[in-house]
Amino acid sequence: MDAGRTAAKRKRLLIVSLVIVATVAITVLLAPPGRGGQEAAAIQAKWIEPQVAGDTVSISVSEVESNRNVHFQIETESGNMHFMAYSLDAQIYVRANVCPPCRGIGYTLDGDVLVCDRCATTFRARTGEGIRGACVAYPKAAVTYAIDDGSIVMSKTDLLVAYQNTLEPGQP
């Protein structure tokens, strides 16, 4: 009888262990994207003022690195255009900061995911590609930039191209 009880205990222990392993695996697989080793708190953007001189727009590298997520706007003849710059894994990204369908302006950096502050649609921070939500068809286009003497330097033309591409569904 002891051998039968021992076998039954082992069987129950095995079943409990399998249930625990399955629960952990399901929790990991269903976890929202963007937590991949990044800090736990989402980083809301801080608005900053860019420096504009003719066709050149610049923002401070140190401001982006210290705040991790910033937004800025430039005035154009047709209205204001909004942009974001953020630091992720020691790299700086600059993208158009607009969500056309919901008319949102502003993204929170949550790990390696951008979250629209208005509709909560998520985008991959490294590529701008949509992940989940109502506005995924409008990827956040990257802005070409150079770093010069502690500043992120962009042309108004490159900013305009990225902004226009973000307004069109499916653009890079």
Written as tens digits, the pLDDT of the chain (172 aa) is: 566 677 667 777 666 555 555 554 454 445 444 444 444 589 999 999 999 999 999 999 999 999 999 999 999 888 999 999 999 999 999 999 999 999 999 999 999 999 999 999 999 999 999 999 999 999 999 999 999 999 999 999 999 999 999 999 987 6
Entry pTM: 0.76
CA pair distance 98, 116, nearest whole angstrom: 9
CA pair distance 101, 36, nearest whole angstrom: 28
Distance of CA 96 to the CA centre of its chain: 12
The 10s digit of each residue's pLDDT in 95-144 is 999 999 999 999 999 999 999 999 999 999 999 999 999 999 999 999 99
C-alpha torsion sign, points 35, 39, 40, 43: negative
Give residue limits of the domains in the chain: 1-31, 46-167
CA pair distance 72, 169, nearest whole angstrom: 23
* Check whether domain 46-167 has CATH 2.102.10.10, yes or no: yes
